[in-house]
Amino acid sequence: MSRIAYVNGRYVPHRDAVVHIEDRGYQFADGVYEVCEVARGNIVDMTRHLDRLGRSLGELSIAWPMTRGAMEHVLAEVVRRNRVRNGLVYLQVTRGVAPRDHFFPAKPVRPAMVVTSKRSDPVALNARAEKGIEVITVPENRWDRVDIKTVGLLPNVLAKQKAREAGAAEAWFVDPDGTVKEGGSTNAWIVTRDGVLVTRPAEHGILRGITRTTLFEVARKLGLRIEERGFTVDEAKSAREAFITAATVVVMPVVKIDGSAIANGHPGSIALSLRAAFFDVAEKRPA
């Protein structure tokens, strides 16, 4: 079956899905995006993702390209047309197409919108979670508005590529004082010896992950305590568990940081139980 993408008002074959060379997303990374998990035919936490999209658009003074209701319809339609039961749906909105000029277009243009969806293999992802992943650490080198989910991801791309070349799956950005910020495309967590979940505050310096937000509810359901505070690489290395969260991986145990094993080097039971309970707690919208 051939894949379908939504591009500026049309559902087109994925291989023919193109945007104009003067799309400001292409030229200036002047746009924002969201990635939602699709699980068992449902779009997961769509409300929170669209709330965050609205915030990102507002911070950059980009208008909604359509009503929120229409956007929900397009997301579901792209998932349906691609017959995705498990996977992801990707949504990108840029300031639009205009002759290249750093200033916002003097005459407002219509924001450009693209939606794609792809399948993932839940069995393979679970197998990965049973094994855990390795992370490396890299110095924080991003701008200070990473709370906005923009498509300007070059530092993230370079950090993640560095991780891959080191045999790891994720790179954690670290401040000069040794505090862990977040991963290239995930939020970072540890579990203390006493079984308390620790993740850094999301007021600034990281993206407020939707998976992270929903995990607060999952933790409550499992009777687990969360402390929102910074933690260092050293604390993470001697933690009971570590894990990452994002729509793409839900909860993924971390078993090594910069080559040093966490606890016994196997995924922690708390991370795995959070992973197992996530779907029941998250919002599910049938596509």
Residue nearest to ligand PDD (CB): 209
* Residue 42 touching ligand PDD (CB under 6 A): no
Distance CA 39, CA 22 (A): 35
Nearest CA to 224 out of 201, 206, 241 is that of 241
Secondary structure (3-state) at 68? helix
- Provide the mask over 179-218, with x wherever binding to ligand PDD is found by CB under 6 A and - wherever it is not: ---x--xxx-------------------x-xxxx------
Distance CA 171, CA 173 (A): 6
For residue 243, the minimal CB distance to ligand PDD (Å) is 12
For residue 210, the minimal CB distance to ligand PDD (Å) is 4
Distance CA 207, CA 210 (A): 9
For residue 94, the minimal CB distance to ligand PDD (Å) is 16
Rg of the Cα trace of the chain?
A: 19
Task: Estimate the crossing angle of helix 210-221 against helix 269-281, to 10 degrees.
Answer: 100
> Is residue 149 flagged as an active site residue?
yes
* Residue 246 touching ligand PDD (CB under 6 A): yes
For residue 112, the minimal CB distance to ligand PDD (Å) is 19
Answer whether 22's CB lies under 8 Å from 28's CB: no
- Provide the mask over 149-168, with x wherever binding to ligand PDD is found by CB under 6 A and - wherever it is not: -------x------------
* H/E element, 79: helix 68-81
Nearest CA to 172 out of 258, 275, 247, 259 is that of 258
The interface region with ligand PDD, picked from 77-85, 115-123, 130-138, 246-254 by CB under 6 A, is: 246-254
The interface region with ligand PDD, picked from 19-27, 190-198, 240-248, 259-267 by CB under 6 A, is: 240-248
**Catalytic site residue from 107, 118, 131, 149:** 149
Q: Using CB under 6 A, pick the residue from 86, 179, 192, 248 that binds ligand PDD.
A: 248
Q: Which is nearer to ligand PDD, 49 or 98 (CB)?
A: 49
Q: Which is nearer to ligand PDD, 95 or 200 (CB)?
A: 200
Burial of 72 (0-12, 13-18, 19+ CB in 10 A): middle
Answer whether 130's CB lies under 8 Å from 41's CB: no
* Residue 247 touching ligand PDD (CB under 6 A): yes
Q: Given the rule CB under 6 A, which residues bind ligand PDD?
A: 35, 156, 182, 185-187, 207, 209-212, 245-248
Catalytic residues, by residue number, are 149
